[in-house]
Structure 1
Amino acid sequence: MSQTVQKAEEAKKSSVTAAKPYPFYLGGLAASFAGSITHPLDLTKVRLQTSEDKKMIQSFRRTISNYGIRGLYDGLTGTLLRQMTYSLMRFAAYDHFKSQLHQGPGPPPVWKLAVAGSCAGGLAGMFGNPAELIMVRMQADRGKPPADRYNYRNAIQGLYAMAKQEGVTSWYRGLVPNGVRSVLMNASQLGSYDWFKHTILDFKMFQDGPIVHFLASLGAGTVATTVCSPADVIKSRVMNAHDNASVLKVIRDSVAKEGPGVFFKGWLPAWIRLQPNTILIFLTLEQLKKGVDRYRRAGGTLL
């Protein structure tokens, strides 16, 4: 009798856990952890997109030769600020839109995942644009001639300097390409991760766990890198421009000078950077969610 009661209580706790949303900030925490580890790759990707460096290894060597290992962590405060604004918003909004779009049994269809990701990306792109801008400027700074550098000490000081020197509206420079990239990224990364995860589980070869999360992340990272590359290149160049060039001017000048392939410049470092970043984000996020589940089943009420 006691075992029956115990199982009933566990089932009740499990249903309550499943019905209650996860804390909205889990995605931001997972992304901050992943971003800290993959920051050198992200920094190299931005410098390839905004400088004359042609190869990833060449850019790595130049940074280490000139500034040491610490040079690979230029702009880290910008990355952390970005993750706790942009990434926090995109994961929280994605879960909300997904739950609103699909309330029936079974996993959501792929089009609903894409719509939820697109809506979340649009909101996150606007909310996180100032941090995205500061991050790009700080990462690209040492790849430019000394006279063209911004020399921000950290992300907060950079935002203050921008507001003082260029006006608060400067925080939203590059909003259009950043917003487009954000929509594409979240539709392709978040939506494809859920699709890959559901598809792998449907084969019943693996149980829901780290192997499934790893494989789904691998697929999501590849899809997201390819879909987002053109918008990512344009965004980085617009945000890093000193002459307030328009998006169309940046596109025309880039194509005229480097050809259509410019839109996939930095694809390899972007993929190499995004793959571990995507894997770390989703593996960490899944573990954080399981930790919250265990805490709730144990009777915890704070999360």
Structure 2
Amino acid sequence: MAPFAKEKPIHSMIAGTTAGAVEAFLTYPTEFVKTRSQFGGKKEGPITIIRETLKTKGVAGLYSGCSALVVGNAAKAGVRFVSYDHFKSLLADAEGKVSAPRSLLAGLGAGMMEAIFAVTPSETIKTKLIDDAKRPNPQYRGLVHGTVSIVRQEGIMGIYRGLFPVMMRQGANSAIRFTSYSTLKQMVLGQARPGQTLPSTITFGIGAIAGLVTVYTTMPLDVIKTRMQSLEARAQYRNSFHCAYRIFTEEGIFRFWTGTTPRLTRLVLSGGITFTIYENIIQLIRTKDSDK
């Protein structure tokens, strides 16, 4: 791979958090449908979930738990890009080049960091809010009330349910997504003129393909994560391995790919939106810095 330009941490943080917040809000309905479809019990298709939610809760129902994901996604993207740039700088060779295996390792490290500092708390809260919203009499009145209630009832570990599968999923997500994106980007840049920047449409397309690859390879970890963060998880599963065992023996191997369609929709859009916004903000910051 060609040498990369190391970004300042504050620039990566600004671009990453902005991209993460925008992407989370725009794609949230697909995340809602994916999460609802992964709960145990009666299997529901995406169209059924959307129709019943609109009928009983209206459009706002498709955004149950959205605030938790927007805040968490902004923090996640910020941590992800700062961590990835940092790990890449540590793993680069003397010429500043980062090979595909080292890019994979940098992505794995970034995914672990975001799982610990942002993803697990935000997704646990989001999952519980979605699970609670489908009940006849929901107990949580929003993000703040839900978070306070969960911590009061279960302690601080109540918002860290499913940490292990989240770390595994985010590590795999970032490793695969960043490596796919970086490899495809270098291939395209190799055909471009020296100094030429990629148009947003190409960046979006590369990011979307990276999202597509990520979905199918990490879907089982996502299903286990959702089950471990549901309201009934403490009564049903001893740990993540027990959860995986029960899903496999009681529901079959294909249950691990439940919710693939909405997650595929979200991550394809997510990859395109996040990388496009990130690259454009970084380019804008570079331009302003050079003007100064």
* TM-score normalized by the length of structure 1: 0.86
Letter in 2 for 1:46: T
2:179 is matched with: 191
Q: Using a 3 Å threshold, how does the CA distance of structure 1 residues 241 and 161 change in structure 2: closer, same or farther?
A: closer
Question: Per-residue deviation at 1:107?
Answer: 4.7
- Is 1:86 the counterpart of 2:79 in the alignment? no
Amino acid at match of 1:273: R
CA separation in 2, counterparts of 1:99 and 1:120?
13
Q: How does 1:262-281 map to 2 (within 5 A)?
A: 262-281=255-274
Offset at 1:207?
4.9
Separation in 2, partners of 1:45, 1:158: 21
Determine whether 1:226 maps to 2:219. Answer: no
Cross-structure match for 2:281:
288
CA contact (8 A) 1:201 1:212 kept: no
Q: What's the CA shift string for 1:271-292, capped at 9, x where partnerless?
A: 0111111111111111111110
Q: Deviation digits for residues 220-274 of structure 1, max 9, x if unmatched? A: 0111101210100000001104251222222122122220011111111110111
- Structure 1 residue runs without a partner (length 5+): 1-17
Determine the C-alpha separation between the residues in 2 that align with 1:214 and 1:186. Answer: 17
CA distance in 1, matches of 2:252, 2:92: 43
Deviating beyond 6 angstroms after TM superposition, the runs of 4 or more aligned structure 1 residues are none
> 1:33-52 residue pairs with structure 2 within 5 A?
33-51=22-40, 52=42
1:134 aligns with 2:122: no
Contact 1:39 1:73 in 2 (8 A): yes
1:125-151 Cα offsets, whole Å, 9 max, x none, are 1112211211121233333x436x5x3
Shift of the alpha carbon at 1:73?
A: 0.9
Q: 1:25 maps to which residue?
A: 14
Q: What are the within-5 Å matches in structure 2 for residues 114-133 of structure 1?
A: 114-128=104-118, 129-133=120-124
Distance (whole Å) between structure 1 residues aligned to residue 253 and residue 26 of structure 2: 32
Structure 1 counterpart of 2:136, from 127, 140, 146 = 146
CA distance in 2, matches of 1:203, 1:292: 26
SS of 1:46's equivalent in the other structure is helix
Contact between 1:130 and 1:159, CA under 8 Å: does it hold in 2?
Answer: no
Partner of 1:108: helix, strand, or coil? coil
Tell me what 1:201 maps to.
189
* Residue aligning to 2:232: 242
In structure 2, give the amino acid aligned to 1:24. Answer: M
Corresponding residue for residue 85 of structure 2: 95
Give the deviation of 1:25 after TM superposition: 3.1
Cα contact 2:208–2:270 (8 A) shared by 1: no
Q: Name the stretch that deviates more: 207-216 or 60-69.
A: 207-216
Residue 112 of structure 1: how far off its partner (Å): 1.0
**Amino-acid identity (%):** 26
Aligned to 1:260: 253
3-state secondary structure, aligned to 1:25: helix
Tell me the TM-score normalised to structure 2 length: 0.89
Q: Does 1:158 align with 2:146?
A: yes
Larger radius of gyration: 1
CA distance in structure 1 between the aligned counterparts of 2:115 and 2:187, rounded to whole angstroms = 29
SS in 2 for 1:146: coil
Segment of structure 1 superposing worse, 238-247 or 128-137: 238-247
CA contact (8 A) 2:247 2:255 kept: yes
1:169 Cα deviation after fit:
2.0
Kept after mapping to 1: 8 A contact 2:204/2:271: no
Query: Cα gap change, 1:243/1:45 in structure 2, threshold over 3 Å: closer, same or farther?
Result: closer
| Contact 1:82 1:135 survives alignment (8 Å) | no
Superposition CA RMSD, Å: 1.9
Q: Determine if contact 2:208/2:267 at 8 Å carries over to the other structure.
A: no
Q: How many residue pairs get matched?
A: 279
